Amino acid sequence: MRKNTTKAKLKAGETVFGCFVRYPSATLIDVLGYQGWDFIVFDAEHGTIEPRDCEDMVRAAELHGVTPIVRVTTNTPPVILRFMDTGAQGLHVPWVNSLDETQAAVRSVKYHPLGARGLAGVRAANYGQAGSFAEYVQQANDETLLVIHIETAEAIEQLERMVTVAEVDVFFIGPTDLSHSLGVPGQPQHPLVQAAMQRIVDTVAGSNAALGIMVPTLEAARAWRDRGAQYITIVLESLLTPAARTYLQGVR
């Protein structure tokens, strides 16, 4: 299994930058790989990406030394297993609301003794063609990056317990879903949401995990880096749309 450079940077105290892509296109990932991202998240929750697509997208990311990470639909072992078997080096798990659900995610992502993920000669394990399963299991447990989403009021109340789970690398704020959970959907700048986000910042700061966030702009990314976020992401559309509009307004 390849070295997870994104995880290594986080553990060294560095800040890493990634892009969310919801379209099932290995070619798109190949193009993005030239831009210098630390990681790319294949969004199978809000996109149409299936395990077969994910496997080719992982290959494309690997060509450029970009860490391939996938966001699954649900925190369930069969779903997580199929996407992780493609060779993805990290996992975003949405809607995790308790210590039990956090531990369940760990069990699905990690092999024994840390978890109970099914073991087979799949692409993640080099099809069983390079080294022993015992070696692969150890490498996978060491290199796999686990990102837990905090995007509900319930999760915030449980977060002090959740951050005690050592196998979680990043606790990730989902501003949009958080605003919905707090009764002000689509208003991430609302005082209720901002106060909740600060509470997450403070709780994660006292743990061994990194703080993650989705940002809409360069300015927001800089602001969140100053607030202590180490794992900063943006969606492809937030980059593409302003660039296209600026070009068209200028040329017309």
> Does the active-site annotation cover 112?
no
Q: Which of 46, 92, 112, 149 is catalytic?
A: 46
Q: How far apart are CA 203 and CA 53, in angstroms?
A: 36
Q: Are 33 and 59 a contacting pair, CB within 8 Å?
A: no
Residue-range definition of the domain harbouring residue 103: 5-251
Beta strands in the chain (DSSP E): 16-21, 39-43, 67-71, 90-93, 145-150, 170-173, 210-214, 231-235
Domain count, the chain: 1
Supply the pLDDT for residue 131: 86
Kindly report, residue by residue over 182-230, the tens digit of the pLDDT: 999 999 999 999 999 999 999 999 899 999 999 999 999 999 999 999 9
CATH number of the domain where residue 124 is located = 3.20.20.60
Q: How far apart are CA 247 and CA 244, in angstroms?
A: 5
Angle between helices 99-109 and 77-84 (to 10 degrees): 40
Q: Are 124 and 104 a contacting pair, CB within 8 Å?
A: no
Q: How far apart are CA 95 and CA 75, in angstroms?
A: 8
The neighbouring-strand residues paired with 33 are none
6, HSE (Cβ side, Cα atoms, 13 Å): 33
Give the single-character DSSP code of 252. -
Supply the pLDDT for residue 1: 76
* Mean pLDDT value across the chain: 97
Mean pLDDT throughout 22-37? 98
- Token code pair at residue 148: 């837990």
The H or E element that residue 137 is part of is helix 133-143
Kindly report, residue by residue over 113-152, the tens digit of the pLDDT: 999 999 999 999 999 998 899 999 999 999 999 999 999 9
- Token code pair at residue 245: 């509009």
